[in-house]
C-alpha cells in the first residue's frame, strides 16, 4: 500500500497569497523531473541555457518553463537534496516560487505531467517514518509543531521530535523484552540449568517509569489541545466584557442592553503557555419568548456541557438571582471558577456562595482589577499545583496516554502473577502485551489502519 518507488509532489506552503510558496517532490525521479522544467539564469538567456542541476544542497536561480510550450511560469529558486541526507531519505527537490495560488498550482501541474504523483496527506512524513529517519512518535510531533498554539506547546512538541519520549518508551520496552526473554528461556529450556533471576525489581522499575510518564500526561495534552473554557452567566453580568478584558482587545460587542450576545463566540488566549479557548456565551435565562434568544441559550448550555472549565460570572453589584443559582446548578460537577464581576461598583449584600467547591475571584472587567488573580486561579485550577522540570518528556497525545495505560495494566498484572507464584507463561503473556503496546508509540508494532488514521490528520505537503 505504501509504495516508495514512485515520486510524489505537493504544495508544501499554505494556500493563499504570500511572498514565497514551495512545491516539493520526493522520490527516485525528483531530480529528473526538476531538470525537465527548470532553466537556470535570467529570462533573456532561457533559450540558450543548457544547465543541469548536479550539485545537491544548493539554491539555483532560474525559471520554471513548460517544456511543451516553452511558456515561462515563474521566476524561482530551485534545489535538490540527495538521498539519504534528506527529510524523507529519498531524493528531494524543492521549488521556491512566488506565493500566489496560480503559480503554485501551475508548477505542481507541471511536476505531475512530467511523472510525479500527487502526495497524500502526510505522505512526506510517512516516507520519513517508513525509511527509518524518525519513529512514529516523532512523526506525530511534526504535526504537533505545525499546530502548536503557544511557545510552551511548541517546546513539548519539539522535545518529542527530538526523541525524548521515544527514548524513555524504548528503555521501558527494552527492559520488559529483556525480562520476557529470560522467562521464555525458562519455559523453552526448563530441563537446562538456567541461572535464577529475580525479575521483581525489573517489573517494579518498569511500572514506576510508566506511572511517571502518565503522571504528567494530562498536563502535556493541555499544552497540545488547550482548555475549552465557557464563560457563562445570566444576561448583563459582564461575560463579554470579561472576554474582552482577558483578550486585552475589544472582540465582543458590549452594551448596557441585556442579551446583546445571541451566539457563542470563540477566541484563543495564550495564558502562561496554556492555549485557553474562551467561549463567550449568550446569557442564560429560565424562560424567553424570543426564538433567537432560545437558540442562543441552547448553544450556551451545550458550550458549558462541552467545556473543560467554566467561568461562572455573577454581578457583584446586585444580589444573587434565581437564574444565577440555576446556572450554578448546570455548572455543578464541572471544574469551575466563580467570577464576581463589577467590583468597581458598590457591593451588594450576600456572600455569593453558589459554588462552594469552586475557586472564587473578584474582578472588574471594566477597570481590569483582579484579572491577574483570575489568570493565576485558572492556571492553578488547570494544573492543580503541579510543577514539572523542563527537561521531563511530556505525553501530549491521547493515543499515547491510552497506550501507556494499557501497558501499565499489563505490567501490573504480570507483577501480580509473579507475586502469586504463577507459572512463567502467565507472566510472559502480560509482558508480551505490554511490550507490543509500547511498540505502538514508536512504531515497532503498528498496523496499516493505524498509520492511515495518524497520517490522515496531516496536511498535504507535509
Task: Give me the pLDDT at residue 255, please.
Answer: 46
Query: pLDDT of 65-107, one tens digit each?
Result: 999 998 999 999 999 999 999 999 999 999 999 988 999 999 9
* Residue in this structure with the C-alpha cell 442564560, named with its chain if needed: 284
In Å, how far are 145, 324, 459 from 119, measured between CA atoms?
Answer: 20, 54, 10
Instruction: Quote the DSSP letter at residue 46.
Output: G
State the chain's mean pLDDT as an integer: 85
Residues paired with residue 314 on neighbouring β-strands, in sequence order: 340
Of 142-146, 219-223, 263-267, 351-355, the poorest mean pLDDT is in: 263-267
Rounded Cα–Cα distance for residues 451 and 1 (Å): 11
Q: Are residue 262 and residue 398 in the same domain, yes or no?
A: no
| β-sheet with 72-81: strand ranges across | 38-40, 60-65, 72-81, 92-97, 21-26, 8-11, 117-118
Answer yes or no: is pLDDT of 8 > 90: yes
Of 174 and 256, the one with more pLDDT: 174
Q: Helices 136-147 and 123-130: crossing angle, nearest 10°?
A: 150
Domain CATH number, residue 253: 3.40.50.300
Give the residue-averaged pLDDT of 202-208: 95
Same domain (yes/no): 120, 53:
yes
Q: Looking at the predicted structure, is the pLDDT value of residue 260 above 50? A: no
* Residue after which a domain boundary falls, among 88, 104, 133: 133
Q: Are residues 295 and 365 in the same domain?
A: yes
In the prediction, which pLDDT does 253 show?
46
Residue 108 placed within a domain: yes
Omega before 84 within 30 of 0, i.e. cis: yes
Q: Which of 87, 84, 86, 103 is nearest to 95 (CA)?
A: 103
Check residue 67 and report its DSSP letter: T
Q: Which domain holds residue 153?
A: 141-216+393-442
Last residue of a domain, one of 99, 133, 167: 133
Instruction: Give the distance, in angstroms, between the CA of residue 430 and the centroid of all CA atoms in the same chain.
Output: 31
The residues near 355 (Cβ < 8 Å, ≥ 6 apart) are 312, 328, 331, 332, 336, 338
- 447 belongs to a structural domain: no
The reported pLDDT for the residue numbered 262 is 45
Please give the Cα distance from 209 to 202 (Å, whole number).
11
240-254, 288-302, 318-332, 334-348: which has the highest mean pLDDT?
334-348
Contact assessment for residue 216 and residue 156, using Cβ atoms and an 8 Å cutoff: no
Same domain, residue pair 72 and 203: no
Residue predicted with more confidence, 264 or 412 = 412
Residues 201 and 245 in one domain: no
Give the ranges where 48-191 is alpha helix by DSSP (H): 101-113, 123-130, 136-147, 151-161, 164-188
Assess whether pLDDT exceeds 80 at residue 44. no
Residue 421 is part of a domain; what is its CATH number? 1.20.120.430
- Where is 211: in which H helix or E strand? helix 200-215
pLDDT at residue 43 tops 70: no
Tell me the C-alpha distance between 59 and 310, whole Å: 52
Q: pLDDT of 234-256, one tens digit each?
A: 888 888 888 888 888 765 444 45
Residue 93 is inside which H or E element, if any?
strand 92-97
Identify which of 279, 278, 242 has the alpha carbon closest to the alpha carbon of residue 369. Answer: 242
* Distance (Å, whole) CA 426 – CA 142: 39
Q: Do 157 and 201 have their domain in common?
A: yes
Instruction: Check: pTM over 0.95? Answer yes or no.
Output: no
- Report phi then psi at 184, rounded to 5: -65, -35
* Number of compact structural domains in the chain: 3
Grid coordinates representing 60 are 539555483
Cell numbers at residue 437, please? Answer: 503496546
Express each pLDDT in 419-441 by its tens digit: 999 988 999 999 999 999 999 99
Amino acid at each position: 500500500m505504501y509504495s516508495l518507488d514512485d515520486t510524489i509532489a505537493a504544495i508544501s506552503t499554505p494556500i493563499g497569497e504570500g511572498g514565497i510558496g514551495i512545491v516539493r517532490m520526493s522520490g527516485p525521479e525528483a531530480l529528473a523531473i526538476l531538470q525537465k522544467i527548470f532553466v537556470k539564469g535570467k529570462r533573456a538567456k532561457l533559450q540558450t541555457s543548457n544547465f543541469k542541476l548536479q550539485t545537491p544542497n544548493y539554491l539555483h536561480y532560474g525559471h520554471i518553463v513548460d517544456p511543451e510550450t516553452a511558456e515561462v511560469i515563474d521566476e524561482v529558486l530551485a534545489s535538490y537534496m540527495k538521498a539519504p541526507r534528506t527529510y524523507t531519505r529519498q531524493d528531494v527537490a524543492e521549488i521556491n516560487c512566488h506565493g500566489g495560488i496560480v503559480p503554485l498550482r501551475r508548477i505542481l501541474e507541471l511536476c505531475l505531467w512530467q511523472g510525479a504523483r500527487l502526495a497524500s496527506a502526510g505522505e512526506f512524513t510517512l516516507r520519513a517514518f517508513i525509511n527509518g529517519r524518525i519513529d512514529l512518535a516523532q512523526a506525530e510531533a511534526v504535526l504537533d509543531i505545525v499546530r502548536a498554539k503557544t511557545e510552551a506547546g511548541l517546546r513539548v512538541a519539539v522535545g518529542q521530535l527530538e526523541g525524548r519520549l521515544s527514548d524513555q518508551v524504548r528503555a521501558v520496552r527494552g527492559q520488559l523484552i529483556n525480562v520476557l526473554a529470560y522467562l521464555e528461556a525458562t519455559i523453552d529450556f526448563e530441563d537446562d540449568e538456567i541461572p535464577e533471576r529475580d525479575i521483581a525489581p525489573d517489573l517494579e522499575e518498569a511500572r514506576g517509569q510508566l506511572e511517571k510518564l502518565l503522571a504528567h500526561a494530562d498536563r502535556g495534552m493541555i499544552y497540545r489541545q488547550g482548555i475549552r473554557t465557557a464563560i457563562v452567566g445570566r444576561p448583563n453580568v459582564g461575560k463579554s466584557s470579561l472576554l474582552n478584558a482577558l483578550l486585552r482587545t475589544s472582540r465582543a460587542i458590549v452594551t448596557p442592553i441585556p442579551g446583546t450576545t445571541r451566539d457563542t463566540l470563540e477566541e484563543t488566549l495564550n495564558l502562561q503557555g496554556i492555549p485557553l479557548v474562551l467561549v463567550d456565551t449568550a446569557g442564560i435565562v429560565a424562560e424567553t419568548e424570543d426564538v433567537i434568544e432560545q437558540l442562543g441559550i441552547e448553544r450556551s448550555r451545550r458550550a458549558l456541557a462541552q467545556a473543560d472549565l467554566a467561568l461562572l460570572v455573577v454581578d457583584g453589584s446586585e444580589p444573587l438571582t434565581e437564574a444565577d443559582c440555576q446556572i450554578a446548578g448546570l455548572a455543578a460537577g464541572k471544574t469551575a471558577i466563580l467570577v464576581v464581576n463589577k467590583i468597581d461598583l458598590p457591593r451588594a449584600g450576600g456572600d455569593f456562595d453558589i459554588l462552594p467547591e469552586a475557586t472564587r475571584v473578584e474582578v472588574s472587567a471594566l477597570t481590569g482589577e483582579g484579572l491577574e488573580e483570575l489568570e493565576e486561579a485558572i492556571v492553578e485550577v488547570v494544573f492543580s499545583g503541579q510543577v514539572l522540570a523542563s527537561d521531563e518528556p511530556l505525553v501530549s497525545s491521547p493515543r499515547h496516554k491510552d497506550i501507556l495505560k494499557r501497558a501499565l495494566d499489563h505490567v501490573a498484572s504480570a507483577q501480580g502473577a509473579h507475586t502469586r507464584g504463577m507459572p512463567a507463561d502467565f507472566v510472559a503473556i502480560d509482558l508480551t502485551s505490554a511490550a507490543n503496546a509500547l511498540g505502538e508509540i514508536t512504531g515497532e508494532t503498528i498496523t496499516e489502519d493505524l498509520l492511515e488514521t495518524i497520517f490522515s490528520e496531516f496536511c498535504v505537503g507535509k
